[in-house]
Each structure stands twice: as C-alpha cells, then as structure tokens.
C-alpha cells in the first residue's frame, strides 16, 4: 500500500456499514473515498453521513484508482464474488465474516490474493462494528 493515506471504499451499506464508516473516520491514515450498495439510495444516505462519494456500482469503485482497499460488507453469499472482483482489479480486501461460503471458495480467494501480491483479511467477528 505504501502511501501515506490508504484510499478505502466500503461495499455493502447495511446496518454494520454505518459503524465501520464512523469508526474509520477516526483513523488519520484512512481516506474514505466512498461507498456502494445494490440500493443506490442506501449508499447515497451513508455517503452523505460520511462526507464521501456514493459510487453507483462496484465497477465504479474499482475504476477509481484512488481506492486501494475494499471493505466487503455485502451479504454472505456475495462475499466470494465481490472479493474476487476486487482482487482481480488489484485491490486489497478486508471482508466481513465469512470469507466465502465454502472452504474451496476461501482457498481460491487466498490463492488469488497471494498470486496478485495483495492483502486479504477476514475476521470471525465484527471488527469495527462493536460498540
């Protein structure tokens, strides 16, 4: 990542995203570039609260060269697909639990991240969502 500030975007603007966005604001090394969601109105609402951009689609996020890291907060069955797209686009990814729905899917993601020399993280609890 090597930059002074990390350009970050959140994918998935459900309940936990609000907590992540507010917590991330306290990190001076993080530049919240924006958020996206399948429901653009929900993304726009969260973006307004965070003084960030609402990207219309994941493709728009991935087209922004200022985004280095994706926080994947999508619904569980979308994690593998979203994380794969992000890694293939050259972005580091932190995914909310689970990383994927199958062990094979998780292994594919780990292998893809290693192949691309990208960071991939996932925790078994809500890392930035605890009060």
pLDDT, tens digit (0-9, with 9 covering 90-100), for 62-121: 999 999 999 999 999 999 999 999 999 999 999 988 899 999 999 999 999 999 999 999
The active-site residue out of 97, 102, 104, 111 is 97
Query: Residue 37's closest CA among 69, 91, 84, 73?
Result: 73
At a CB cut-off of 8 Å and minimum separation 6, what does 88 contact? 112, 116
Reply yes or no on whether 3 is catalytic.
no
Looking at residue 123, its pLDDT comes to 82
Q: Domains along the chain?
A: 9-122 (3.40.50.720)
pLDDT at residue 13 greater than cutoff 50: yes
Looking at residue 127, its pLDDT comes to 55
Q: What is the pTM of this model?
A: 0.91
Phi, psi of 7 (to 5 degrees): -75, 120
Lowest mean pLDDT among 16-30, 42-56, 116-130: 116-130
pLDDT at residue 129 greater than cutoff 70: no
């Amino acid at each position: 990542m090597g930059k002074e500030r990390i350009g970050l975007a959140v994918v998935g603007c459900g309940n936990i995203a609000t907590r992540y966005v507010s917590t991330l604001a306290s990190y001076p090394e993080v530049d919240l570039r924006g958020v996206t969601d399948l429901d653009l109105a929900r993304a726009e609402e969260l973006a307004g609260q965070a003084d960030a951009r609402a990207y219309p689609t994941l493709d728009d996020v991935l087209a922004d060269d200022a985004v280095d890291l994706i926080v994947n907060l999508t619904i569980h069955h979308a994690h593998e697909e979203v994380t794969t797209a992000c890694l293939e686009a050259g972005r580091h990814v932190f995914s909310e639990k689970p990383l994927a729905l199958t062990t094979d899917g998780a292994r594919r993601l780990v292998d893809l991240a290693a192949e691309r020399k990208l960071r991939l993280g996932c925790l078994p609890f809500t890392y930035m969502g605890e009060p």
